Amino acid sequence: MIRAQTILGSAIALLGVTALVLVFRTPAEVAPARSFTSSQQCKECHAQEHAEWSASQHAHSWLNPDVRALSNDFANTDCIDCHAPQEIYSTGIGARVLPRASRRAEGVDCIACHALPDGGVAGTKDNPAAPCRPQAMASLKSVDHCAGCHDQHKTVSQWRETQYAAQGIGCVECHMPARADGSGHDHTMHGGHSLETVRKAVTLVAERSKGLVRVALTNSGAGHHFPTDERSRAADLWWRPVAPEGAPAESWRHLWRFRSPYRHEVDLVDTLLPSAATKEVWVDDPASQGAVEVALTYKRTPYWKDPLRPDPETEAEFVHRVVLQP
């Protein structure tokens, strides 16, 4: 009996201490849980990140006219999985994402990347007093965080084979660099829609050798193939004689295409340029004996309006141009 009373007394004492802790804790110590229904909720406290993200392709992944056209206005529902994904931390880091029904217009938004299943968010610091209750999560910066979507087109698999992977340089280092003022990482997430980023990825060289023109493109700056978003992206090498001053420009002549074909394009082969690799093409044409211009163009939709008469001037972006004198 005495032993039972001792145990009961101890239990009550323990509970009493617990009660004191609960009663006298600082009210602001832990913010109430908050459910997220829109990335607009993040804007108030994270204005800079929200503004950067709003300018990013992630924010436009649902309403971008290119996507809507290529997905037949999302009648091709296969595209929804990555263009309006559920929270990555719910489906699992590195696991394939799943589509959501709500807030689709926000595309790949703050909630998709940061929201945690328990109501908080993944961040770079612990701050239980903040309304969104951020928790420091190393996985937020890992390549696996991006892989659920971006390895569907093999970008992360390509990266794993590069020197960047060996050096621990992941997606974030190039696509979400730290801001100069140390205030965090850039959420604009530049990629294939940024001509500046594309320019940094490759080096174009044109030179005369053995009486011919040698054109070489090196994937010198991308930690994945160039272009990486297989199927829907394409890069092309061109050359043309430089027209005499005052004469109309010569038309571009196609040299090489870098692209991974759709599976129905059974007559095409994959020509994506791996990281650090060089593709060499030779121009063997009497017209190349004079001054020539060589160019690399980039397209985010692979097809030309008239495949027999492709017009890079109006249908593609010029990444690099090199003029070679006789």
For residue 205, what is the DSSP state? E
The torsion angles phi and psi of 77, rounded to 5 degrees, stand at -70, -10
Q: Which is nearer to other proteins, 82 or 121 (CB)?
A: 82
CB of 200 to other proteins, least distance (A): 24
CB of 266 to other proteins, least distance (A): 5
Q: Which is nearer to other proteins, 26 or 35 (CB)?
A: 35
Structure tokens at 233: 């992206």
What DSSP assignment string belongs to 123-170?
Answer: ESS--TTSTT-EEE-GGGGSHHHHHHHHGGGTHHHHHHTSHHHHTT--
What DSSP assignment string belongs to 232-280?
Answer: T-EEEEEEEEPPPTTSPPPPPEEEEEE----TT-TT-----B-TT-EEE
For residue 187, CA distances in Å to 51, 92, 161, 259, 290 come to: 8, 22, 26, 28, 47
Q: Which is nearer to other proteins, 65 or 246 (CB)?
A: 65
Q: How far apart are CA 316 and CA 21, in angstroms?
A: 66
CB of 209 to other proteins, least distance (A): 34
CB of 101 to other proteins, least distance (A): 4
Structure tokens at 229: 């978003």
Q: Which is nearer to other proteins, 156 or 176 (CB)?
A: 156
CA 98 to chain centroid, in Å, comes to 18
The torsion angles phi and psi of 295, rounded to 5 degrees, stand at -145, 155
Beta carbons within 8 Å of 127's beta carbon, 6+ residues apart: 133, 134
Binding site for other proteins (CB under 8 A): 8, 11-12, 15-16, 18-19, 22-23, 32-33, 35, 37-38, 40, 60, 62-66, 68-69, 73, 77-78, 81-82, 91, 95-96, 98-106, 151-152, 263-264, 266-267, 301, 305
CB of 126 to other proteins, least distance (A): 19
User: Within a 10 A sphere around the Cβ of 314, how many other Cβ atoms?
Assistant: 7
Q: Which is nearer to other proteins, 210 or 264 (CB)?
A: 264
CB of 262 to other proteins, least distance (A): 8
CB of 158 to other proteins, least distance (A): 15
Q: Which is nearer to other proteins, 13 or 249 (CB)?
A: 13
Amino acid residing at 95? A
Q: Which is nearer to other proteins, 16 or 128 (CB)?
A: 16
CA-wise closest residue to 296 among 248, 256, 261: 256
CB of 182 to other proteins, least distance (A): 30
Q: Which is nearer to other proteins, 124 or 142 (CB)?
A: 142
